[in-house]
């Protein structure tokens, strides 16, 4: 099991990307639908910690590889956070 915490601003960045890149709607689906995030709604102002099963972590990694390992339109901090998450997957 992996964990990833995203702020509301980081989730808004994912929403803004939407269908433009794989780190938009596809990433949001993997995180919010496929993972346990407790009782916090995607649009709440609170930070959200996702409990990510290994199979979903690998799908997130594959998702990143669709964009050649880049995180298009993400701020440097969010791109770094997501890359650090990907790098921990074994």
CB 79 within 8 A of CB 71: yes
Phi, psi of 9 (to 5 degrees): -60, -40
Closest CA to 16 of 55, 73, 64, 75: 73
- pLDDT tens digits for 37-62? 777 789 889 899 999 999 999 999 99
Question: Cα 83 vs. chain centroid, distance in angstroms?
Answer: 10
Percent of the chain residues past pLDDT 70, beyond the cut: 100
Look up the pTM and report it: 0.89
pLDDT of the residue at 70: 85
């Amino acid at each position: 099991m992996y964990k990833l915490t995203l702020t509301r601003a980081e989730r808004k960045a994912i929403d803004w990307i939407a269908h433009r890149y794989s780190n938009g709607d596809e990433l949001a689906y993997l995180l919010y639908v496929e993972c346990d995030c407790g009782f916090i709604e995607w649009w709440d102002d609170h930070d959200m910690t996702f409990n990510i099963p290994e199979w979903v972590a690998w799908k997130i990694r594959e998702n990143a590889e669709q964009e050649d390992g880049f995180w298009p339109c993400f701020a440097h901090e969010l791109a770094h956070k997501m890359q650090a998450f990907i790098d921990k997957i074994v």
